[in-house]
Chain A
Amino acid sequence: MSASDLVWLVLPSFILLNGVLALITYLTLLERKFAARLQSRVGPYRVGRPHGWLQPIADALKLMLKEDIVPAAADRPVYNLAPIVFLVPAFLMYAAIPFAPRLALADLEIGLLFVLAVSSLEVVGLFMCGWGSNNKYALLSAMRAVNQIISYEVPFILTALVPAVLVGSLRLQDLVAAQQGLWFVAYPVLGQLTFVAFVVVALASENRIPFDIVEAESELVAGFRVEYSGMKFALIQLAEFTHLFGVACLGTLLFLGGWLGPGPAGLGPAWFLLKALILFVLIVWIRWSFIRIRVDQILGLSWKVFLPAALVLLLAAAVVVIARGGGGV
C-alpha cells in the first residue's frame, strides 16, 4: 500500500470525524439557546459576543482542565474504558450515513442494519459506566438503562425497518433514492404513523426526557455518570449528543428524504443537515416540555404499546408490498 493510498484512506475519516465533532459541539449551544428561549431566559451570552458563540469551546476547555477523579472503590479498568466504549459506537454510526449521493465513508449494502447495530452498542458503555463507578446510584441507573434499552431497541428497529420493507433494500442510498417522488413521511397513514412511532421510540432508546430515567438527576443524582468528572465526563456528554444526532440523521434518511430538496444537486448535504437539525430541535423541544415517566411505566409502555404497534406497522408495510407486487415507494 503506497503512502497516497494511506492518505486517501485516512483523510475522509479524519474530515468526517472532526466535522461531526465540531457540529456536535455547537449542537450543545443550539440546545441551550433553544431551551433558554422556551423558558423565557437568554441562555449563554457572556462568552463570545454575540450570543455566547464561544461557549462550547469554553465548556470543553473547562472540562479538560478539571481534575480527573477516580473513586477509590471503582473498578479502574472498566471505569476508565467506559467513556471510550460509549463514544466509539456513536461515531461509528456516521461511517455508514450518506450525506449526499455517494458522499458516505462506506456505502454498505446493509447500511441500515449496520447503523442500528452500532447504535445498540451504546448500552455496553453505559453499563460499564454504571458498574465501574461502584456507586449505588450509578448501579441503579445502569440496571435501568439495560432494562430500557433492551425494551426499546426492538420497537426501534422494527419501526426503522418499515421503510426498508417498502423499498426492499437495506442500503441507505437506495432508501433515499426511493423517496424521490414522495418523502416517506408523506406516505399516506402508514408513513405518518411510523414516523411518530419512530420519534417516540427513538426518544426512549436515547434516554431523553420523558424517558430519561437513566439520568434522572432528581432521583439518581446523575445516574451512571455520577462519579465521572473532567474529560471523561465530557466524553460521555459528547457520546450522548453524537448518538442523538446520529439518530436524527437516521430519521432524516428514513423518513424525510435525506438530501432530496429543491435546487441544484450540490445543495444535497445542506438539505440533509437542515432536516437533521429540525428533527434534533424537535427532540430538544419535547425534552424541555415534558416531565419524566416512571421506570415501570416506561417498560409497560414498551411491551404493551410500542412493540405491538411496531409489529402492526411492519405487517401493514408487508401487506402494501404484496398488494403492489414488489418493492419501491
Chain B
Amino acid sequence: MPDPEARTVLEYGYGGNERLVMNMGPQHPSAHGVFRMILTLEGETIVAVEPVIGYLHRCHEKLGESLTYVQYPSIASKTDYVAAMTAELTYVRAAEQVGQIEVPKRAQYLRVLAAELQRVASHLLWLGTWCMDMGGALGGGATMFLYCFREREMILDLFEALTGARLLYGFHQVGGTRYDLPVGWADTCRQTIAHVETRLAEYEGLLEGNTIFLVRTQGVGVMSAALAQDVGVSGPLLRGSGIAHDIRRAEPYSSYEDFAFDIPLESAGDCYARYRVRMAEFRQAIAIVRQVLDGLPAGPISSRPGVKSVAQVKLPKGEGYARVEGPRGEVGIYLVSEGATKPYRMKWRGASFSNLAVAGHILPGHKVADAVAILGSIDPVFGEVDR
C-alpha cells in the first residue's frame, strides 16, 4: 500500500531521506504486458508501490452488452488471451445458466479437454516468462523461455488442428462446442502430452537443481493464507499459501466430477511454493487430458444447432453467475438477461485482477530484483486485468 509519505515524495522525484522514485512500466521488459508500478526505493529496497492499471482497457463489459450470445464467445477469448479457452467457457456457461440449457456429455468432455490443454499451455508461458524475468533475455532465462515455447507450440498446433486458430479460438458456443475432434487428433494429443511430461522433468532438473534458482525464489514474496483470503486471491497463488480451494472440486462443472485428480497444495506461500503448485498442476492437467481421451463418450457436440445467424440464441429473462477454475484462478461472469439476443448487463471477475491486488501488499521490503520475480510468480495477464 502506498504510504502517505511516499506519495508526497512522488511529486519531487528525490525525497529528503535518500528515497528514489522509480517508474517501472508500462513499457518495461518485465511488465508482462502493460503494467506500471511506481516504486519508491531506499537504495535497492522497495518501501512503497503504487500500481497503475488500465492501459489495456477495451470496454469488454460494454462489448458484452452490444454483442449477441453468438458473437461474444470469440471476443471473450480476448480478455485472458493466454488462456482463451477458459474465458470462452466462462461466458457460454453463464449463458447456459441463464437459459437453463443442457450440454451433451461429449461436449462437456471436449470442454474439459480444451480447458486442461489450455492450462498446460498457459503454465508453460508462465514458466518461460517468469524465468526470463529472473534470468534475463540474454541469458539462462531466455534459454528456459525458448524451451517452454517449444513445448507450447505443440499444444497450439493441437488447437490449430481443432479450431483453425492458434491463440483466440472461438471453440465454445452456447449449448456445446463448435468443433469435434478431427481424425487422428487424439493420437497426436497423446503423443504431445507424453512429450511435455518428459520435458517437465527436464525443466525441474534445470531449475530445482540450481542453487541460484532456489535462493531467488525461496522465502521471496511470502503471502500468508489470511492475506490471500482478504485480498481475494485465487488459483495457484491461493493453493501456494496453503488453502486447498479449487472450483473444479468445490463446485464441479462440465463433468469435472467424472475425473480423478489431485489439488496440489503448498504451505510456504513464497515464489517457490507457487512454482511447485504450478509444476504439479501441469501433471494433474495431463492426467485429466488422458482420462478425457480414454472416456470420451459418443454423441452430439451441441444441444443447439450450429451457427447460422448472429441472433439465433435468445435467452429468457433472468440472471446467472458462472465460475470456472482457469490457469490463473477463478474466472467468473455475471449475466443479466432481459429476454433478448444480447445480455442486458455483463460483469467479469478476472482472476488476474484480484491476484494482482496482492502485489502492493507483498512487494514492500523486497529488492527491485525481487519485484519482477514476485510479479512473475503472480502471473497476471493484462488483457484480463484491464478487460
Contact = CB atoms under 8 A, between A and B. Distances in A.
Contacts of B369: 213, 216, 219, 292, 294-295
B58 interface: no
A92 interface: no
A143 B212 CA distance: 22
B215 A136 contact: no
B134 interface: yes
A287 B367 CA distance: 22
B133 interface: yes
B372 A218 contact: yes
Contact of B140 (A216, A217, A220, A289): A289
B140 A219 contact: no
Given A213-B369, A294-B367, A136 B22 contact: yes
A146 to B, nearest CB: 13
Interface string A269-302: 0000000000000000001111111111100000
Contact of A217 (B29, B41, B210, B367): B29
A210 B143 CA distance: 13
B34 interface: no
Interface string B120-152: 000000000001111111111111101100100
A66 interface: no
A288 B143 contact: yes
A39 B140 contact: no
Nearest to A41: B146
B143 A293 contact: no
A103 to B, nearest CB: 34
Contacts of B23: 136
A218 B368 contact: no
B135 A291 contact: yes
A38 B372 contact: no
B135 A209 contact: yes
A140 interface: yes
Contact of A221 (B29, B138, B141): B29
B368 A292 contact: no
B212 A218 contact: no
A130 to B, nearest CB: 14
Contacts of B29: 217-218, 221
B22 A217 contact: no
A153 interface: no
A40 interface: yes
A227 interface: no
SS class of chain A's interface: helix, strand, loop or mixed?
loop
Contacts of B150: 40
A41 B150 CA distance: 10
Nearest to B137: A217
B370 interface: yes
B136 A212 contact: yes
A224 to B, nearest CB: 15
Given A140-B22, A221-B29, A290 B138 contact: no
B44 A210 contact: no
B147 A209 contact: no
A122 interface: no
Nearest to A297: B215
A137 interface: yes
A291 B140 contact: yes
B136 A292 contact: yes
A287 B140 contact: yes
B139 A294 contact: no
B142 A39 contact: yes
Contacts of A296: 44, 367
B158 interface: no
A215 interface: yes
B30 A291 contact: no
A288 B139 contact: yes
A221 B28 contact: yes
Given A291-B140, A294-B370, A210 B146 contact: no
B146 A291 contact: no
B371 interface: yes
A215 B137 CA distance: 11
Contacts of A287: 138-140
Given A217-B137, A218-B134, A290-B210, A136 B142 contact: no
B6 to A, nearest CB: 16
B213 interface: yes
Interface string B359-387: 00000000111111000000000000000
Given A136-B20, A294-B216, A288 B140 contact: yes
Contacts of B372: 218-219
Contacts of A290: 135, 139-140, 210, 212
A11 B150 CA distance: 51
A133 B30 CA distance: 22
A97 B71 CA distance: 71
A293 B136 CA distance: 11
Contacts of A213: 369
A238 B329 CA distance: 46
Contact of A292 (B134, B144, B147): B134
Contacts of A38: 143
Contacts of A288: 139-140, 142-143
Contact of B136 (A39, A136, A217, A297): A217
15 contacts: A39-B143, A137-B22, A140-B368, A209-B138, A212-B136, A213-B369, A217-B137, A218-B135, A219-B30, A220-B368, A291-B140, A291-B144, A291-B212, A292-B134, A292-B369
Given A210-B140, A213-B369, 6 more contacts: A39-B147, A140-B44, A216-B369, A217-B136, A219-B372, A292-B139
5 closest A-B pairs by beta carbon, nearest first, are: A291-B135, A209-B139, A290-B140, A39-B146, A218-B30
Interface of B: 20, 22-23, 28-30, 41, 44, 131-144, 146-147, 150, 206, 210, 212-213, 215-216, 367-372
